[in-house]
Amino acid sequence: MTFLFAILASLSFATGGIFMKYANYFQGTANLRPALATYLLFLVGATFQMVIMREAELGVAYVLVLGLESLFAVLFGFLLFKESLSLVKAAAICLVVIGIALLHADAG
C-alpha cells in the first residue's frame, strides 16, 4: 500500500507541475484555473505523502516520492511539452529508479 500511495503522491505532484507550467505557459500573467489545479494537486500529493510517512521511514518515504516524481516529471515533459530526453537524462533517471528500488528493498 505504501508503494501505491507513493505513486499516487508522485503523480499528483508531477501533474501539479504540469498545471504550474500551464499557469504561465500561454500568458505572461498567471492563469487562475491552472494555478488552482496546481495547489489542489499539491495538496492531494502531500496528503498521500503524509499517509506514507505514518508507515515508512522518513528518509525512504521522502526519497521514494521525490524520485518517482522526478521520473514522472521527465516523462511528462518529454510527452507533453516535447522537452529533450537525452541519453544522459535517461541514464540519470535510471540511476534514480535503481536508487529508489535499493532504498525500498532495504527498508522493507
Q: Specify which of 42-46, 50-54, 85-89, 90-94 reaches the highest per-range mean pLDDT.
A: 42-46
**What pLDDT digit, counting tens, does each position of 20-30 carry?**
888 875 565 66
**What pLDDT digit, counting tens, does each position of 44-85 carry?**
999 999 999 998 888 888 888 999 999 999 999 999 999 999
Which pLDDT score, from 0 to 100, does residue 74 have? 93
What grid cell was written down for 78? 518529454
Domain ranges of the chain: 2-107
Which among 2, 44, 40, 49 has a CA at the least distance from the CA of 19? 40
Which among 50, 48, 17 has a CA at the least distance from the CA of 35? 17
Residue type, 88: V
Q: What is the pTM of this model?
A: 0.86
